[in-house]
Amino acid sequence: MNTPELPLASVRPYFSVVVLEGEDFGSLTEFLLTSGRGDVVARHESDGVLAFVRRREDPPTWAGPDAGFTDVTHQLTIALRRGGFIVVCTDRPGQERLQTWLDRQPALRRYPSEVLESALIRGEVKNLWLRGIHRRTSVKADGKVLSGSSVEQTLSPHEDGSYVAGSARAALPLRPDLLLLKGNAGTTPRNALVWLSQRADFETFTAMATELLDLLEDARAQGAERPDFLAMLASPADIAEVRDAFEVIVEDPDTLPAGALSDELRDLALSARDNPLPVTGFPDSAAFLLDGAEVTPELAGDKVRLDGDSPLLETDLVTVYYQSGHSYSRGRFWQARAPEYPFRNWRFEDFRGWDIRREKPRADSPQQIHDHIGSDTSLFDWVARHYAHGWLICDDGPGEVADFLHVSASRVLSLIHVKAAKSDSRDRDVSAAAYEVVVSQAVKNLIYISRGHLRPQLSRPPVRSPASWIDGQRVRGRREFLRQLDARVATDDMRVVILQPHVTQRTYETLRGPAGRGSPELMRLHLLESMLNSARQSCTGLNADLEVIAGKE
């Protein structure tokens, strides 16, 4: 049966196109016609033009299999060839299929992302979608969405240097030859996607596509320099620059859409997340050994795939960190721009005689933990011994504000969070994971710094007889502590204290000195201190400061 002719004069699509380079228009049109579900019910094909409508019938998302309802949709796809360039307009599912297909097509390429950035993100940026390439942590957002009149001015190299500019929407340049491309345009450079929030008849759509290609080619001819503000963000890197992997992180599989992983692959991801595999890098290559098996990054189109035995390498869960300062994430290598600022508030203490691998006294119940503090060698006992001046309470238990709270004679309020070290070896390695949970808890509990929340919460102890001290002597109840809390004024200092002795002063000073240069441990220290600096900014935003107590050796 012949497919009816699609009357182009009747279509008014939104201008949302994927821009490609290459001559193989035939393979593209064959893919577009055969890859979707449903029947093609109208079609137009002429020299350099394919337009068709696909009809789909699906049950509504809210309906069960026997509900008897059907949603009918008609999806429009347009492909235009202009010289050695092609623009494709289709719906979101069609775009996703196209992006996957392009990864396997050497004859067709996405338009270079750096040219799209140069041409379309020059004006005032109205929206910016950022995706993090840093190690996933609850104290720093995985992504950001910024909106405003000129949001590029809000970026910070410290705060945002580990984010990638995924998409942007900015003011188009004012040029006499741009008669139709006006206002604001959005782009996702890595997918060669450009969109404007306006509909156009077919003739206007075609003219807009021509203006877009002219704009992009002009930017390429002038050198395609990235906008200045993007220098504060992570940027794509050439595989030839990448060397010496030192850590592989597997994200929580729940970050992917439901059904994206099989049960077997999900279990494998959970195991790899909780038990990181050993990594051996090569000083002159982006390849590495993962648990003894070689993994080789390879170019696949304009993306990178990790060629190795583990099925996890085919997912978006794997991030690889390199000594060269690069990271691999979601099919690309990136160069983070964040300065490697040291964390300034380390406090190194002597823990000889204390069991740094144990947080709390040995006990069978929350009340017994409170009762036994002071008669053991756990880190809780260390706190009771070393905060022996002023007013101290333990708040360990369900709904705790912190493990301990302390008010000094000068009315400094400290919220103390305790976490055991993973090892007591003098040669223990730096570990960002050892600090991640306790830092996350400390940041989440910043809400209690407000006196309106803190006072009522502390008036309801987690156990019947909470441990309390005045100048190192046990007292009954919290009455005196609460009196001192009430006596504080808004200008009195506050501190969030994290007691985690896993890092040692000896290791820290070695890594920060000449001997640490080029060490994988130094890169792990950078990851840890980046996390602590981020947490400290959360504290200072509430007029508090962050201090981390670690071990001397």
Confidence category of residue 432, pLDDT binned at 50, 70, 90: confident
Mean pLDDT of the chain: 89
What is residue 233's DSSP assignment?
Answer: S
pLDDT tier, 135 (very low <50, low <70, confident <90, very high otherwise): low
- The pLDDT-based confidence of 337 (bands split at 50, 70, 90) is low
Task: In whole angstroms, give the CA distance from residue 242 to residue 521.
Answer: 18
Residue 370 in 3-state DSSP?
helix
Question: What proportions of the chain, in percent to the nearest 5, are helix, strand and coil?
Answer: 30, 30, 40
| Side chain identity, residue 240 | A
Residues 439 and 450: their CA atoms lie apart, in Å, by 19
Does the pLDDT at position 338 exceed 60? no
* pLDDT computed for residue 157 by the predictor: 67
The pLDDT value given to residue 258: 60
What's the farthest any 2 CA atoms get from each other in the chain?
A: 93
CA distances to 104, 142, 309, 457 from 194, rounded to whole Å, are 22, 24, 37, 51
Q: Which residues pair with 320 in a beta bridge?
A: 248, 328
Cβ within 8 Å of residue 215, ≥6 positions away: 119, 120, 173, 175, 178, 181
pTM listed for this prediction: 0.62
Mention every residue, 6+ apart, whose C-beta is less than 8 A from residue 307. 295, 296, 297, 298, 313
pLDDT of residue 136: 64
Residues 394-410: pLDDT tens digits? Answer: 999 988 999 999 999 99
- pLDDT tier, 208 (very low <50, low <70, confident <90, very high otherwise): very high
Which amino acid, residue 382?
Answer: W
Q: Is the pLDDT of residue 339 over 70?
A: no
Q: List CB contacts of 21: < 8 A, sequence separation 6 or more.
A: 84, 85, 86, 108, 109, 110, 111
Q: Answer whether residue 259 shows pLDDT above 70.
A: no
Strands 413-418 and 494-504, sheet pairing: parallel
Return d(Cα 230, Cα 227) in angstroms, integer. Answer: 6
Say if residues 167 and 195 touch (Cβ distance below 8 Å).
Answer: no
First to last CA, the chain: 82
Q: What's the whole-number mean pLDDT along residues 187-213?
A: 94
Residue 11 has pLDDT above 60, yes or no: yes
Three-state SS for 437? helix
422 to 242, 252, 369, 521: CA distances (angstroms): 31, 21, 21, 16
Average pLDDT over residues 160-180: 90
Instruction: State how beta strands 494-504 and 545-551 pair.
Output: parallel
State which amino acid sits at residue 401: V
Q: Which helix (H) or strand (E) holds 293?
A: strand 293-300
413: pLDDT strictly greater than 60: yes
pLDDT of 326 strictly over 70: yes
**What pLDDT band is residue 447 in, cutting at 50, 70 and 90?**
confident
Residue positions counted in the chain: 553
Secondary element (H or E) of residue 211: helix 202-221
Dist. CA 42–CA 52, nearest whole Å: 6
Q: Per-residue pLDDT tens for 66-120?
A: 888 999 999 999 999 998 999 999 998 899 889 888 887 888 999 998 899 999 9
